[in-house]
Structure 1
Amino acid sequence: MNKESLYFTFYQQRHLCDAVLRVGGTEFHVHKIILCACSPYFRNLFIHWSDPDCRIFDITDVSPETMNLMIEFFYTGFAPVTEANATELFITADRFDIPGLLRVCSDFLEKELKIENCISIWLLADSYYYPDLRQKALSYILIHFEMVVLASKQFPLLSVQHLVQIIQSDQLLVKREETVYEAILKWISYSLDERKEYSSLLFPYVRFALMDPMYICKNVVRNPTVCSSQECRQIILKTMDAFLHNATTQFLKSTAWYPLISPRFPPALIFAIGGWSNGSPVSTIEAYDPRTDHWVNLSFTEDVPRAYHGTVVLNGYIYCVGGYDRVTQLSSVSKFNLKTKTWQEVSPMHIKRCFVSVTVLDGIIYALGGFDGLSRVESAECYDPGRNQWKYISSMHDRRSDASCVSFNGKIYICGGFTGMYCLSTVECYNPRTDQWTRMAPMSNTRSGVGVAVYANQIFAIGGFNGTDRLKTVEAYNPVTNSWRAMSAMQCPRSNFGITVINDCLFVVGGYNGNRTTQEVEFFNSTTRKWDDARDMVVSRSALSCCLVEGLTNITDYITPFVPVPGLFDGVF
């Protein structure tokens, strides 16, 4: 029997107890030395605030149930914290200065953070000055702000000071700045007569220069809450003046970029990794910030250059799988730690796979097909990061390299590719529950070096090579009807490019256009059904791989620093 168990047994059997804590009508027979070791409050109570011979102590403002849990923690180091008792136990632990119990409660509350309770946990930690929990709860609110505004019953009850702390933060993640403006209106309207006086305090924290000018004209300029504040009217007028000047200035892609106001941190970045440039594979990594339409060339490159590889993001790591390093096809797999910015090699695949298709489903990485140096392969394998182990799964019906795959609705779809003899239009679907591949409706075009992504609840197949030409055509697959339909074509043909979805737009990055590698980037918006240009990458590349990285806690390491507009807009915002 260990000491903790022995002491707890003494407590349960009231052996050698030298103090009694009275809580209401309940008595707890305890050992002073145990309580003194765990709580400075009880140490002072027994040593400095009472006579040495005192044995009975009345404890007020705490329930017998909570006191029982607290004493159990003193003796065992364990407390059965639940959603029902966590708040009261946290407050009691703070009152009686029990650091160990505070950590237990804090850890529990952190794991329980959700839309419904994140504000109450933040306010609790703020009231009792527990910085770690306070920061984590605030970070949760900032990341999930849109849902908090929409669904939290506690949002309208925030004090104006706490609301300011949220909306002034660069780390507030919103797809549209209009969301911040609408959140303020919702908070004010909850008690309009009492809160309308705060409009002059709150609206200056809205970054109107990041909003759509048409939205401002329709929804802000004529709003009575905004119009009632002279300070707000001045901000709107200066913002519209800045928009007007910006609209009359021609900003070319080569021109230095000057935002009107500091953007908030983006909720996600596109990473473009490796590829083929100037006749050889490269290890270049660039990060794209959609808020600033800027690429940043990062220095955290992998030691081994890769082209025709696959990348995925899983559990805070970017995994680079297979590919080609100009000497040989690769079976190696490396992962990049987004927090420490370090690379680590993990278990290699069973075979070499260049031109490989890679995706993630339910925490497992899948590597499909590819070229092993001798032939195109139909084999496939999956990797469990917890076990650091690859295992084969059922082979595909077709051998294929240069294909592209996605996970969608619990299954994996792979499209197109090259057999070594001809380009493919075939599509297969893998069910991990049955370990079986099923043929699906083929694409309308053969596509090698195709890009595939899940977008607008469909699977988009974009570009590629049909054996004769690079393609700019696009088609979308509906799994419900098992059918494809044509979509708006890209502006430029390309194959072997990067592809991902961010901010409800489908981005294609770099690739080969039939004459050369390209650094051009364009994106498709399902609302407008149009393709538009985005800023070029720094390095022209094909055979690269792109992935979406969300929730970076150190995002400032990966984005362009804010450059204020020189001269003209000084003092406007």
Structure 2
Amino acid sequence: MDVSSKLRKITYYGTSGKCSKITRRRRKLKRCVCLLPQSGELEFPRVWEELRNNNQLCDGVVRSTSGREFRIHRAILSAVSPYFKALFTNSINRDKEENTEANTNIPTPILETLLNYAYSGKCFVDEENVESLLKFADQYEVMGVVQLCCKFLLDEMCPANCLGILHFAGQYFCTKLMERGKLYVRQNFVDLLTESSEFVNLAVTELLEILKDDDLNVKSEEIVFEAIKKWVNYMPIKRKVYLLELLKCMRLHNLETKQMSKMTKWSLIQKDPECKQYLVESQQLLRQFLLDNPAISEDNYSFRPRIPYEILFAVGGWSAGSPTNFIEIYDIRADRWLLSTDTDSVPRAYHGLCSLRGLVYMVGGFDGNEYFNTMRCFNPVTHEWSECACMYYPRCYVSVVMHDERIYAMGGYNGRIRMNTVERYNPDKNQWELIAPMLKQRSDASAAVLNSKIYIAGGFNGQDVMCSAEMFDIGTNQWSYIPYMNSVRSGVSLVAFRNALYAIGGFNGYTRLTSAERYSPDSDTKWSEITEMMTPRSNFATITMDDYIYIIGGFNDLLVSGSTTINYVEYYDPDSNEWLVASSMNLNRSALSVCVVSGLPNSREYSFLGRLSNGDTEKETESREG
């Protein structure tokens, strides 16, 4: 049985778990130490274990539930456990002699493990012993073992066991683990619905708390509705009384009227006049909202957007005839673009952008005069920019990807020639290294990572727009050709999505393209066409979010005056094989780059809801309406 399935067996107590008044009072007073920064195995003097093994200088005895005796050194056991310190020193009954013996209710294997920790600083935790070990380590205040158990549970947390771990942590006042568990539940809610057998056992108060949370990571409120149905249908007779209260947790702003009509057909809603009336009124309110398009209020709960788990950063680019240092943020939950004040000091375009360990890295580029070999790093939490090690070569029109916590910069233009050189950045060493060059010189190409291999396609070699594509095997440090694309494409975007590569748009030497093509290395021998974009464009930005491919900005052909920069955004739905419109950026621009940072602790600052709270949405709203 694997670790995940073992951990699913952690006892689920919900709201029915009981403990004594004394225990509850102690937990209220006790400070949580379950995930302190210094938690982990310690190195104790080896002589302690030697003295224990040789039974030397022992001055006390502890007994397990079976009566087995362990000779110990009271000072050593007192050092890791305030409980034993108080017991052995008689700090409660100071007029009595110090105790030298202690009877415990700890099973023999667990007591042995706790004593091993006391003497060595090491403790073996696995799925078999973690529940008992945490229980008795908490009871006897061996806080180092509590920390190790909580760290183990955190490392093994998955959608199948997170609710069990969350309730288990609550029993032992592991508040930090509970906080992490609650965050994990909200961030992985969709997977939890399908993988957790414990979801249907949630108390209604717990479910309401989850569904009301602004940070709940759902791309549509339909998922919230499905969660409500699943929970209520598990015990419909008992739980249908909570249905109206649960429906009011939904944010109706991102539902269409036809989706709400579908909800009303659920039999339990049909039989509940209050629920039925609530949804009918909500439909009317939504229609009115779509007609009038009023400003969204933070207090209007039905239209209050959730906070996105993924924050999209659009940095730099070419706008109004020159490079820009503007940054915009896209809130996918509100479908709004927000201007940021976190601009870098140097405008640049034709650069690369990627996220790594919660940081945004901007690679190479061009400011209208200089071709950069620099890399800048932005910290979204501190809002600070910093300089990183320089690349070996200046690169604009560069292709950048991140794989296995390394940043790859491929090809580009150094101001004199198109290059085939490739270099890789190690953030731990703050150092670039040259690796095997590509088979062809390319600038204005695009790269993506699929199944641990790096692919690059299209571009310009200084004379011709290219349709060739190649693949880099990191293990062998070698490049090899893959099938050529159907169209030549410079300023193209290559995206890895659902086990396939998508080459989208670009410039064929005469015009900007709307066409796109798809290639799966595992099953295809050639590229195949997919539905064309609505807007022809090249040198645009591309990202995958919410299981869609987003296309942002770029150059667009005009019939009269040549090309122009645009702010149009559209996204591709692979299930329907169609392109849909999203809100446009505030700024027209091409040659920009975008990346997504997930799970920011301050994601509210970058959300539309956060701007609503600060009353700072007027400019973005005017831009959207314009």
The question of a shared fold, defined as TM-score above 0.5 by the shorter chain, is answered with yes
> 1:183 aligned to 227, 234, 237, which one?
227
1-structure distance, mates of 2:182, 2:570 = 35
2-structure distance, mates of 1:247, 1:342 = 39
1:28 CA displacement: 1.6
1:233 corresponding residue in structure 2: 276
Task: Give runs of aligned pairs for residues 344-423 of structure 1, distance below 5 A.
Answer: 344-423=386-465
SS in 2 for 1:517: strand
SS in 2 for 1:539: coil
> 1:98 aligned to 142, 154, 162, which one?
142
2:78 corresponding residue in structure 1: 36
1:499 CA displacement: 1.0
1:504 corresponding residue in structure 2: 547
Task: Give runs of aligned pairs for residues 131-142 of structure 1, distance below 5 A.
Answer: 131-142=175-186
Amino acid at match of 1:6: V
Amino acid at match of 1:222: K
> Please, which runs of 5 or more residues in structure 1 have no aligned partner?
566-573
Amino acid at match of 1:150: T
> 1:11 aligned to 52, 56, 65, which one?
52
Cα distance change, pair 230–19 in 1 and its aligned pair in 2 (3 A): farther
> 1:158 aligned to 180, 188, 202, which one?
202
2-structure distance, mates of 1:4, 1:161 = 49
> 1:313 aligned to 352, 355, 360, which one?
355
TM-score, normalised by the number of residues in structure 1: 0.91
Cα deviation digits, residues 346-375 of structure 1 (max 9, x gap) = 222111111101112233222111001111
Higher mean alpha-carbon deviation, 266-275 vs 388-397, is at 388-397
1-structure distance, mates of 2:498, 2:75 = 64
1-structure distance, mates of 2:531, 2:547 = 16
2:480 corresponding residue in structure 1: 438
2:605 corresponding residue in structure 1: 557
CA RMSD of aligned residues (A): 2.3
SS in 2 for 1:547: strand
Cα deviation digits, residues 229-248 of structure 1 (max 9, x gap) = 45433431221111221343
> 1:495 aligned to 522, 525, 538, which one?
538
1-structure distance, mates of 2:161, 2:45 = 34
Does the 8 Å contact 1:204/1:232 carry over to 2?
A: no
2:213 corresponding residue in structure 1: 169
Does the 8 Å contact 2:500/2:519 carry over to 1?
A: yes
> Please, which runs of 5 or more residues in structure 2 have no aligned partner?
1-42, 558-562, 616-626
1:448 corresponding residue in structure 2: 490
SS in 2 for 1:359: strand
Cα deviation digits, residues 288-311 of structure 1 (max 9, x gap) = 112111111112222332210111
Cα distance change, pair 389–188 in 1 and its aligned pair in 2 (3 A): same
Amino acid at match of 2:279: I
1-structure distance, mates of 2:253, 2:392 = 53
> 1:546 aligned to 588, 594, 602, which one?
594
Cα distance change, pair 3–533 in 1 and its aligned pair in 2 (3 A): closer
2-structure distance, mates of 1:291, 1:561 = 10
1:196 corresponds to 2:240:
yes
Cα distance change, pair 54–363 in 1 and its aligned pair in 2 (3 A): closer
Cα distance change, pair 63–299 in 1 and its aligned pair in 2 (3 A): same
2:153 corresponding residue in structure 1: 109
2-structure distance, mates of 1:130, 1:344 = 37
Does the 8 Å contact 2:569/2:584 carry over to 1?
A: yes
Does the 8 Å contact 2:44/2:119 carry over to 1?
A: no
> 1:20 aligned to 61, 67, 92, which one?
61
2:3 corresponding residue in structure 1: none
Does the 8 Å contact 2:44/2:121 carry over to 1?
A: no
1:118 corresponding residue in structure 2: 162
Cα deviation digits, residues 100-125 of structure 1 (max 9, x gap) = 22222222221121122211111011
SS in 1 for 2:566: coil
Cα distance change, pair 178–425 in 1 and its aligned pair in 2 (3 A): same
2-structure distance, mates of 1:126, 1:231 = 36
Does the 8 Å contact 1:93/1:99 carry over to 2?
A: yes
Cα deviation digits, residues 209-231 of structure 1 (max 9, x gap) = 4333323222x213233345454
1-structure distance, mates of 2:475, 2:57 = 60
Cα distance change, pair 439–8 in 1 and its aligned pair in 2 (3 A): closer
Residues paired across the two proteins, number: 558
Amino acid at match of 1:248: L
2:264 corresponding residue in structure 1: 221
1:169 CA displacement: 1.1
Amino acid at match of 1:540: N
SS in 2 for 1:434: coil
Does the 8 Å contact 1:116/1:151 carry over to 2?
A: yes
Cα distance change, pair 163–419 in 1 and its aligned pair in 2 (3 A): same
Cα deviation digits, residues 369-428 of structure 1 (max 9, x gap) = 100111111121222223333222222222111111111122222111111122112222
Higher mean alpha-carbon deviation, 352-361 vs 377-386, is at 377-386
Cα deviation digits, residues 73-107 of structure 1 (max 9, x gap) = 22232222222212211111221123322222222
2-structure distance, mates of 1:415, 1:240 = 47
Q: Quote the sequence identity (%).
A: 35
SS in 1 for 2:147: helix
1:524 corresponds to 2:572:
yes
SS in 2 for 1:73: helix
Cα deviation digits, residues 147-205 of structure 1 (max 9, x gap) = 11111122222222222222221111112211122122222222333333332443322
SS in 2 for 1:496: coil
1:257 CA displacement: 5.7
1:568 corresponding residue in structure 2: none
2:618 corresponding residue in structure 1: none
Does the 8 Å contact 1:287/1:298 carry over to 2?
A: yes
1:264 corresponding residue in structure 2: 306
1:540 CA displacement: 1.7
